[in-house]
């Protein structure tokens, strides 16, 4: 039996008007979405349209409940101008964060407000594409409970680890089922009945930091995601750079240790083997089993087998010297790797995010010491290192942003053709 799609593909912005008028409205809404709020004068300048046309468009969009007044702007000598913004709840997107051992979902509106609680389900990521069915079932349940107008759900934004080619809509590491002529993105779209944006989780994190976080307003920045693996988001000239196939930023798999441990990518001595959540868990487990003096030894055998970065960080915060040493080693190795990045990209800012970044000073101090040791002074002094302030679910903001950008860009491309 064929499972139902979430909602039949419909266009939320359907107006009974000319194509040209429709195009003007979409451009205006996209602009208001990007800047949050703008005056009539700012809209005229940004879109190169006359004041009468702008007032007419705003009047119609206000009547159709797409926009709202947002107070007043700065006075330029006369009275303060009215500000207009895209009304919250005008559009919705379903955001799905597929991690190695869990799946998180939330529905966000165009104001990036969570319209549902974030739902987390334990799930082990594999290569089996049939797992899409389980993810779809979770999404249907969330949508049914949300109570939102399904006609305003404009797409699904999915982030996951691995080699993700966002241009082709394929992941070469996970969900790699052999379906001739059907990419992973197509498989998701067929199941959901909606446009799907598929991207690497680190790219989603970088978008979140650029548009909503520490990198807001920055032109050249690096975003390091330190979770189970190590990923890099590259922001150059104010844009998140994808690379030729979307694979830019695979920092975790650069050669780091001669004759080192075997990495899951198939190579030996990758940075991830000595500076990642997986490496931290492995080192902690080996140390405990070898008799290291640590409160981590109080864990049960099952807990040791399933040890995660958070457990080591908690132990460090309780003063456990072995846990502190483990984190220090991770920080030193990461600092050495970051030194290379600083000299390659000359960033003004480096944002640290992910589970390991939550260790704060236990990792940042040895990281900074390594950077001081391995990086040229003139270059490193230009780069500030900060921790992300978006929280552990911050990249969901990046997924929502990517989905809304894709919606407006696709609609404009169709109208301008």
Mean pLDDT of 68-73: 89
357-406 tens-digit pLDDT? 888 899 999 999 999 999 999 898 889 999 999 988 899 999 999 999 99
Yes or no: say if 256 and 269 are a contact pair by the CB < 8 Å rule: yes
Nearest-10 Cα torsion for 371, 373, 376, 382: 40
Q: How confident is the model at residue 5 (pLDDT cuts 50, 70, 90)?
A: low
Q: 330: exposed, middle or buried (C-beta count within 10 Å: 0-12, 13-18, 19+)?
A: buried
| Rounded-to-integer distance, Cα 262 and Cα 323, Å | 24
410: pLDDT confidence band, cut at 50, 70 and 90?
A: very high
Same domain, 317 and 343: yes
Task: Classify residue 3: in a domain, yes or no.
Answer: no
Which tens digit of pLDDT belongs to each residue from 76-92? 667 889 999 999 999 99
* End-of-domain residue from the set 86, 120, 135: 86
Q: What is the pLDDT of residue 8?
A: 44
Domain boundary among 86, 103, 126: 86
Mean pLDDT of 49-54: 94
Q: How far apart are the first and last CA of the chain?
A: 39
What is the pLDDT confidence band of residue 11, given thresholds at 50, 70 and 90?
low
380 & 408 share domain: no
Structural domain includes residue 323:
yes
* Positive or negative torsion for Cα 368, 370, 373, 378: negative
User: Based on the domain organization, do 120 and 245 belong to the same domain?
Assistant: no
Overall domain count for the chain: 3
Domain boundary among 37, 52, 86: 86
Together in a domain, 243 and 279: yes
In a domain, 5, yes or no: no
* pTM of this structure: 0.89
- Whole-number percent of the chain with pLDDT over 70: 95
pLDDT at 100: 87
Look up residue 86 and give its two tokens: 């895209």
Give yes or no: residues 60 and 165 share one domain. Answer: no
Asked whether residue 81 is assigned to any structural domain, the reply reads yes
Which tokens hold the place of 324?
A: 């502190």
292 and 375 together in one domain: yes
Q: Is residue 12 part of a domain?
A: no
Residues 243 and 102 in one domain: no
- Using the predicted structure, report yes or no on whether residue 178 has a pLDDT greater than 70: no
- Radius of gyration of the chain from its Cα atoms, rounded to whole angstroms: 24
Residue 361 in any domain: the answer is yes
264 band by pLDDT with thresholds 50, 70 and 90 = confident
Which pLDDT score, from 0 to 100, does residue 1 have? 31
Same domain, yes or no: 281 and 348 = yes
> Any idea what the CATH number is for the domain that residue 150 is in?
3.30.420.40
User: 19-35 and 395-416 helices cross at what angle (nearest 10)?
Assistant: 160
The verdict on 319 and 200 lying in the same domain is no
Condensed to tens digits (0 to 9), the pLDDT of residues 217-258 reads 999 999 999 988 899 999 999 999 999 888 999 999 999 999
Note the pLDDT of residue 228: 85
Residue 121 lies in a domain: yes
Q: What region, left, alpha or beta, does residue 94 occupy, with left being phi > 0 and alpha being psi -120 to 50 degrees?
A: beta
Tell whether 24 and 150 lie within a shared domain.
no
CATH number of the domain at 53, please.
1.10.10.10
Same domain for 375 and 405? no
Does residue 122 fall inside a structural domain? yes
Assess whether pLDDT exceeds 80 at residue 353: yes
Which structural domain, as residue segments, surrounds residue 282? 216-387
On whether both 141 and 49 belong to a single domain, the answer is no
């Amino acid at each position: 039996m064929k499972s139902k799609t979430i909602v039949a593909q419909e266009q939320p912005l359907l107006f009974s008007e000319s194509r040209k008028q429709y195009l003007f409205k979409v451009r205006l809404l996209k602009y208001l979405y990007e800047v949050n709020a703008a005056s009539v004068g700012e809209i005229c300048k940004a879109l190169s349209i006359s004041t009468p046309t702008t007032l007419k468009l705003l009047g119609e969009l206000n009547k159709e409940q797409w926009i709202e007044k947002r107070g007043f702007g700065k006075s330029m000598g006369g009275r303060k101008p009215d500000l207009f913004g895209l009304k919250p709840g005008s559009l919705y997107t379903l955001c799905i964060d597929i991690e190695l051992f869990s799946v998180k979902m939330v529905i966000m509106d165009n104001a990036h407000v969570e319209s549902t609680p974030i739902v987390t389900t334990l799930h082990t990521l594999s290569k089996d594409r049939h797992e899409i069915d389980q993810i779809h079932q979770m999404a249907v349940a969330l949508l049914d409970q949300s109570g939102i107008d399904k006609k305003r759900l404009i797409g699904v934004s999915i982030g996951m680890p691995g080699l993700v080619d966002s241009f082709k809509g394929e992941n070469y590491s996970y969900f790699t089922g052999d379906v001739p002529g059907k990419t992973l993105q197509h498989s998701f779209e067929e199941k959901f009945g909606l446009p799907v944006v598929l991207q690497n989780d680190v790219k989603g994190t970088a978008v979140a930091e650029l548009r909503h976080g520490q990198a807001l307003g920055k032109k050249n920045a690096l975003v390091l995601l330190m979770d189970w693996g190590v990923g890099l988001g590259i922001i150059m000239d104010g844009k998140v750079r994808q690379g030729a196939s979307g694979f830019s930023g695979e920092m975790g798999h650069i050669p780091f240790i001669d004759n080192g441990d075997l990495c899951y990518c198939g190579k030996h001595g990758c940075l991830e083997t000595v500076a990642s959540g997986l490496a931290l868990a492995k080192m902690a487990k080996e140390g405990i089993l070898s008799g290291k003096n640590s409160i981590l030894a109080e864990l049960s055998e099952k807990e040791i087998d399933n040890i995660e970065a958070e457990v080591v960080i908690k132990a460090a915060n309780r003063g456990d010297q072995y846990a502190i040493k483990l984190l220090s080693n991770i920080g030193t190795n990461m600092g050495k790797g970051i030194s290379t990045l600083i000299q390659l990209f000359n960033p003004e800012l480096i944002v640290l995010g992910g589970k390991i970044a939550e260790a704060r000073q236990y990792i940042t101090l040895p990281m900074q010491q390594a950077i001081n040791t391995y990086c040229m002074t003139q270059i490193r002094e230009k780069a500030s290192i900060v921790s992300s302030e978006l929280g552990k679910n911050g990249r969901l903001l990046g997924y929502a942003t990517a989905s809304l950008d894709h919606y407006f860009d696709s609609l404009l491309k169709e109208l301008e053709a």
